[in-house]
Chain A
Amino acid sequence: MRIAIFNGHIIDPANKLDELAGLYIEDGKIVAIGDAPAGFEPQTLIDAQGKIVCPGFIDLSTRLREPGQTHKATIQSETHAAASAGFTCLCIPPDTRPVIDTPEVLELIKDKAEQCAYKHIYPIAALTQKLAGKELSCMYALKQAGCIAVGHAQAAIQDLLVLRRAMEYAATHDLLLMYCPQESALSNQGCAHEGAMASRYGLSGIPVAAETIALMQCIELIEQTGCRVHFRGLSSGRAVSLIAKAKQSGLAVTADVGMHHLHLCDTDMRPFDSHYHVLPPLRSQQDKEALLAGVQDGIIDAICSDHQPHDVDAKLGAFPETEPGMATIEAVLPLMLRLVEQGNLDLVQGIASLSEFPAKILAINAGHLAIGGIADVCIFDAHEKWQINQQTWQSRGQNTPFWQDAMLGRVCFTIQAGKVIYSQ
């Protein structure tokens, strides 16, 4: 398949490209940027006039809900949603049912994705068996089977000795640990940020310390074990400060934040509206601002969708008993552009935080537009207005607080390994 994309505004942060140019793809690879190679005869022509051409987005945490929870979503439905949102690589947390703790489950997911014609699925293997926090998973076998990293999703690891040994063992096999810092004893089954809002509405609170204490413990264990760690889904300003300090001291740690945490805080919640029920919780306005500053300063490396589609029933109940998580992946691009519009983020950095930086965290050859490199490309119109509704939304999960919101910026084409996997 030969594709020519012409008249587009190419933005490739990794290669510092920011210009009007053509992009040419053949056999899944980028063969030229600028002028077409001699004798290039495209089978597909894409006029990208007025549009931005950038690397396909890479998501560090996408729940597909398959296997095990296909009543919520499927690999088919969510890879389609991801493609429509410009994402060409997805990291899958291990909390599927069964858990991704054997090569068989991992291969099953990869096979299913391939059947859905979605190529770049990166399962994150469970750090411990069944995510129970007790026995180590077969990390070597899981690495052989192709896991991108190890992690524990939002399951607690209550025993620090287990965490220490798991980190040592992961380091033995040079596996990246993707760690969601949350001390479950302090979270104490809370469902909202411990602050004035939770106090007012009688919701049990999760203190910031639940995040920072787990973060500090893990940082100390990095010093001890030499494990490579990426901190997933930070929610507080104090966590940003701790990451900054760790980076200053020379530790090779990275971090990301969910896009919704850059847009919402606890005071934005509509009373008892379960669509705002997420883990970690939406925290204070100051936390939101500190997270944003963290992204601007590069302390937080990447922005993530933390996409968690749910069935209707999961969100139907009194707030504390509903399941946490938002379906977000299709809102990521317009929400990034909203930050740019608000003057809170530079467009190039915004694109990098969704492509170049997550690729670096995962140490994969992606997230850039290089000649000879895999052709993962997103083409979007930064000015197209649309509304999130039944007609436009692809994900099976409609659990988003942004439902029916007006959005600015929409994906026109998504190309994965040289193949158009989405066109508007």
Chain B
Amino acid sequence: MFVDKDLQLNSLGKLKHFLSIQGQEQSLLTEILNTAESFADISAQQVKKFPLLRGKTIVNLFFENSTRTLATFELAATRLSADVLSMNIATSATSKGESLLDTIRNLEAMQVDMFVVRHSLSGAAHFIAQHTAPHISVINAGDGQHEHPTQAMLDMFTIRRAKQQFSGLRIAIVGDILHSRVARSQVHALNILGAEEVRVIAPKTLLPVEVESLGVSVYHDLTAGLKNVDVIIMLRLQKERMNSALLPSESEYFKCFGLSDEKLKIANKDAIVMHPGPINRGVEISSSVADGPQSVILQQVTNGIAVRMAIMSMAMQSNNARAE
């Protein structure tokens, strides 16, 4: 099984849909980061708007609740001068494919140019990309436990700003890897961009089987796993994991896998601490670390806008190129 690269690129090899990091070339990821740099510089100025997507309609189609991701996608689209429609569609477990397809068909009829999709099922963004009209781009804003590629790109952006390059970097991703689409995208991105080593640190209950095959080394002990690490990415722990017999309690989890000041000292002195948010203080990370000098958690949020502007404008440009 391989991700259909053709599905994500147009006939000229340019980005059309952004569905997964897996299968992308290093050059494309670097292009996204470089484009995002230019947006980030200008975003810091007083006038933040660009006319790049003027006249385009972007629909944020969120089948799963989100605040930050939705907000940054909205801001990114607005700053590119696009018209934005955000839809929060509560989904039930029994909702069927046809309703997903019908939703897409109805919105297509309103002549939109891009869907930004979040869905609780793995493969939903793929499905939409395969069934939508050819002029529409699809950006995956998180599908089930599969991927969250724009989040991974903003994390890469944040890492590159702090560390300049990926070669030689050791990165530890700590926590619920099993259910994390963010972790999967990050692992692929870090490997494609040439990081030295990607580690995952978690109890066995929160690791997918044969996780090594994704290109990571596995640790079950935080102390051992944090040695010589340059970047620490903490993942959010969902409360419902306690009820499904994956973990005994939040306090035991924090003792074993929570990032405290003491544990942070094990990593390299200049290590940065990241978290895709929202944070459970005292569960996966202590407040002093989250708010401390090594934390870049809020920079991640800021960078999210520039990175999403880059991805949206690139995907839309490839569509324009095709239309001409």
A159: interface (CB < 8 Å): no
Known: A266-B1, A271-B3, A313-B97. A202 touches B214 (CB 8 A): no
Interface membership of chain A positions 188-216, coded 1 if the CB is closer than 8 angstroms to chain B and 0 otherwise: 00000011111111111101000000000
Whether A317 sits at the interface, judged by CB under 8 Å, is yes
Contact B97 A318 (CB under 8 A): yes
Cβ–Cβ contact B184 & A200, under 8 A:
yes
Shortest CB distance B217–A (Å):
15
Complex Cα spacing A197 to B22, Å: 13
For residue A47, CB closer than 8 A to chain B, the reply is no
Within 8 Å of chain B (Cβ to Cβ): is A321? yes
Q: Does B243 contact A (CB under 8 A)?
A: no
A16 CB–B CB distance under 8 Å: no
Tell me which of A196, A200, A321 contacts B121 (CB under 8 A).
A321
Q: How many A-B residue pairs have CB under 8 A?
A: 96
Contacting pair A202 B147 (CB below 8 A): yes
Does the CB pair A201–B1 fall under 8 Å?
yes
Chain A 266-285 near chain B by CB (<8 Å), digits 1 or 0: 11111110000000000000
B159 to nearest A CB, angstroms?
Answer: 22
Q: Quick check: A317 and B100 within 8 Å, CB to CB?
A: yes
The answer on a CB contact under 8 Å between B96 and A317 is: yes
Query: In the complex, which range does the number of interface residues on chain A fall in?
Result: 20 to 34
**Which chain A positions have C-beta within 8 A of B121?**
317-321
Interface members, chain B 134-161 (any A CB < 8 Å): 143-147
User: Is residue B87 within 8 Å, beta carbon to beta carbon, of the partner chain?
Assistant: no
Query: Nearest chain-B residue to A204 (Cβ)?
Result: B145
Contact (Cβ within 8 A) B123 A319: yes
Chain A 111-148 near chain B by CB (<8 Å), digits 1 or 0: 00000000000000000000000000000000000000
Contact yes or no, B98 A316, CB < 8 A: yes
A320 to B146, CA, bound (A): 12
Q: How far is the CA of A271 from the CA of B121 in the complex (A)?
A: 14
Q: Does B122 contact A (CB under 8 A)?
A: yes
CB-nearest residue of chain B to A322: B97
Asked if B262 is at the interface (CB within 8 A of a chain A CB), the reply is no
* B97: contacting residue among A201, A207, A316, CB under 8 A: A316
Q: Are A318 and B127 in contact (CB under 8 A)?
A: yes
Is B210's CB under 8 angstroms from A196's CB?
yes
B126 to A271, Cβ gap below 8 A? yes
Q: Per a CB cutoff under 8 Å, which of B1, B144, B209 touches A202?
A: B144
Q: Is B42 interfacial (CB-CB < 8 Å)?
A: no
CB contacts (< 8 Å) of A322 on chain B: these are 97
Residues of A within 8 Å of B214, CB to CB, are 196, 199-200
Assembly CA distance A316 to B98 (angstroms): 7
Smallest Cβ-Cβ distance to B127: which chain A residue: A318
Residues of chain B lying within 8 A (CB to CB) of residue A320: 121-123, 144
Distance (whole angstroms) from the CB of B176 to the closest CB of chain A? 12
The answer to whether B119 has its CB under 8 Å from any CB of chain A is yes
Q: Which residues of B contact A321 (CB under 8 A)?
A: 95-97, 121
Q: Which of B100, B101, B127 is in CB contact (< 8 Å) with A272?
A: B127
Considering the chains assembled together, what is the distance between the CA atoms of A327 and B101 in angstroms? Answer: 23
Say whether, besides A195-B209, A196-B210, A202-B122, A318 and B4 are in contact (CB < 8 Å). no
- B115-134: CB near A (< 8 Å → 1, else 0) gives 00001011110110001000
* Contact of B248 with A by CB under 8 A: no
Residues A196 and B213 in contact in the complex (CB < 8 Å), given A272-B122, A316-B101, A319-B123: yes
Report the separation of the CA atoms of residues A196 and B208 in the bound assembly, to the nearest whole angstrom. Answer: 8
CB-CB nearest in chain B for A312 = B98
* Docked complex Cα distance between A175 and B63 (Å): 49
Q: Quick one: which of A195, A204, A315, A319 has the most chain B CB within 10 A?
A: A319
**Contact A318 B209, beta carbon cutoff 8 Å:** no
Question: How far is A199 from B95 in the complex, measured between Cα atoms in Å?
Answer: 24
- Over the window 312-351 of chain A, the binary record of Cβ atoms lying under 8 Å from chain B Cβ atoms (1 yes, 0 no) is 0101111111100000000000000000000000000000
A residues within 8 A CB of B98? 313, 316-317
Q: Enumerate 16 A-B pairs (CB-CB under 8 Å) in ascending A order.
A: A196-B209, A196-B210, A200-B1, A202-B122, A202-B144, A202-B147, A203-B122, A203-B146, A205-B209, A271-B4, A313-B98, A316-B98, A317-B96, A317-B100, A318-B144, A321-B121
Given known contacts A272-B126, A313-B98, what 16 new A-B pairs fall within 8 Å (CB)?
Answer: A195-B209, A197-B1, A199-B209, A199-B211, A200-B184, A202-B147, A266-B1, A271-B1, A271-B126, A316-B101, A317-B96, A317-B101, A318-B143, A319-B122, A320-B122, A320-B123
